[in-house]
Structure 1
Amino acid sequence: MTVASLHQLLHAAQAGRYAVAGLVVLGWEDAVAFVEAADDTGLPVILQAGPGCRRHTPVPVLGRMLRHLAEQARVPVACHIDHATTLEECVAGIAHGFTSVMIDGSSLPLDENIALTNRVIDAARAAGVSVEGEVGFVGYAGGRQSRVTSPEEAARFAAETGIDALAVSIGNVHLQQEKTDGIDFDALRAIEAATDVPLVLHGASGIAPATRSILARDHRVRKFNIGTELRQAFGAALRKSLADQPSSFDRIELLRPTIAAVREAARDAITGIGPARVIP
């Protein structure tokens, strides 16, 4: 069995000075592609079920599906609930086999964020499940604007929760389709000086691969959430499949070519932030 907790993956990444890819799952084909990419590279991966995924597919189904894939993998795989905003969402994930949950209290005042996070941690620790939290606010391209993480708030949050991983806002943006150079390294260094917890960057598709590599190997960013660039690979492959097979109406036949395309995109994402030397 290769199912792992987020704590296990990030502890190893901390020791090895690399980061692990949190890959956003929307369905069976991309989940398969992500695990195949992890096996191909010999590197661990985190399968993430975000709010959109959970609206489309029930959590009990997702838990069984992702655990099945993790158990077949040759490398450690964590199964992660992403951007839960309530204790109930996290408890449901824990009950259905997820090894990690993110409780996103970033829209709350700090005291309330800490209190909510601690309630989740109490439930998760009893089940051996890891917890990720967020301080500051990571905004959305074309949507709500970011709020940069305060080092003082990050330090207090980490100290009062004992969180396994901390998502921070330092210029990263969700759903960014184009690569940018918007990372505030001064803000990152201030957070690193104030905390010792593994850091997470959401919206990593908008960060140039070379910058992601620097953040992983020269800083304490241990997890990158990557979704948009993988969905772009999926969409391009699906459009080509539809064009190549205009008379087909079999969804399995039409979707099959997306697996290889997403696998290649995932391989690039995984290796770009992994150890400097990769053993396939």
Structure 2
Amino acid sequence: MTIATLKDVLIPCLSNNTAVAGLVVLGWEDAVAYVRAAELVGRPVVLQVGPGSRNYTPLSVLGPMLRNLAEKALVPIVIHLDHGNSICECKVAFESGFTSVMFDGSNLSLEENIDKTGEICSWAHSHGLSVEGELGFVGYQDGYESQGTDPLEVNCFVRETGVDALAISVGNRHLMLSPGVDIDLELLMAIQTVVPDQPLVLHGGSGIGLATRKSVSRNTNVCKINIGTELRVSFGTALRDVLSSDITQFDRIKILEKTIMPVCVSAQNAITSLM
């Protein structure tokens, strides 16, 4: 199956009333689990590399690793940089084999966010690649507070940048250990009304209940929901189970390979929650 861009997998979601899962990759084992889950469900998936992952493993290593998986997959796979901090970092990701980047200009002024996101879009589109932008600020559990996306700024941002997807802040929060956020559906629909043909993205999917995930996937233009924390919890639980079941085991390959199936099951649940 051809490696896909973000645009390739999100545009169909506008008409088939589903969303694609953006799954956060920290290493080989979870990436393998995510691709296997996507194949079992028969859905595209976005393999996302966030700041924590790339601070540990260079983009120049992660890109070829994920492309190796994607090239052999039976479903479309997007290789995506999540929360790119600069134009330079986004270009390094593209040069490393990523097919999509998310430039996070949420802390910038509207004008600077438009300028930088637009520059990345211009370069990416000339090479057949995709870009996700962010307007508003998605906060963190026990951390920075969210700032909701202003519908009055949305049309200008989308029109002037040309983004393929727009991450919005409508009550969602990063790094939540369990569902608990209330999505502001009125604000979400106000944004969608302004840009009715624009694929929208929700970060912080682990904090969004399964019923809400399914509802926004089916009834709005939210075409991608990012899910990471619940999958990291699944990996951690599986790893502790493996280590406690055989305290004499020391081979890291034998230890880590046993985490793949439990994470695959969790990833299947995440993917199907958006259908």
Q: What SS does the corresponding residue of 1:273 show, helix, strand or coil?
A: coil
| 1:151–1:194 Cα contact (<8 Å) kept | yes
CA distance in 2, matches of 1:155, 1:127: 25
Counterpart of 1:269? 270
CA distance in 1, matches of 2:141, 2:81: 22
Counterpart of 1:240? 241
Counterpart of 2:79? 79
TM-score of the superposition, structure 2-length normalised?
A: 0.98
CA distance in 2, matches of 1:149, 1:32: 34
Structure 1 runs of 4+ off > 4 angstroms? none
TM-score of the superposition, structure 1-length normalised?
A: 0.96
Counterpart of 2:41? 41
Deviations 1:12-69, CA, capped at 9 Å, x for gaps: 1112111000000000000000000000011100000111111111111100011111
Report the residue type matching 1:234 in the other structure. F
Counterpart of 1:147? 147
Give the C-alpha shift of residue 221 in structure 1.
0.5
Deviations 1:124-176, CA, capped at 9 Å, x for gaps: 11221100000000001011110000001122111111110000000000001
| 1:22–1:225 Cα contact (<8 Å) kept | yes
Output aligned runs, 1:189-228, within 5 Å: 189-196=189-196, 197-228=198-229
| 1:245–1:254 Cα contact (<8 Å) kept | no
Q: What SS does the corresponding residue of 1:189 show, helix, strand or coil?
A: helix
Alignment RMSD, CA only?
Answer: 0.8
Q: What SS does the corresponding residue of 1:108 show, helix, strand or coil?
A: coil
Q: Structure 1 unaligned runs (5+)?
A: 275-280
Give the C-alpha shift of residue 208 in structure 1.
0.4
Deviations 1:206-249, CA, capped at 9 Å, x for gaps: 00011000000011100000000000100000000010110111
Q: What SS does the corresponding residue of 1:89 show, helix, strand or coil?
A: helix
| 1:94–1:127 Cα contact (<8 Å) kept | no
Q: Structure 2 unaligned runs (5+)?
A: none
| 2:173–2:181 Cα contact (<8 Å) kept | no
| Residue identity (%) | 51
Deviates most, 152-161 or 133-142 = 152-161
Q: What SS does the corresponding residue of 1:223 show, helix, strand or coil?
A: strand
Q: What SS does the corresponding residue of 2:230 show, helix, strand or coil?
A: helix
CA distance in 2, matches of 1:157, 1:142: 29
Pairs aligned (count)? 274
Q: What SS does the corresponding residue of 2:114 show, helix, strand or coil?
A: helix
Q: What SS does the corresponding residue of 1:67 show, helix, strand or coil?
A: helix
Counterpart of 1:278? none
Counterpart of 2:26? 26
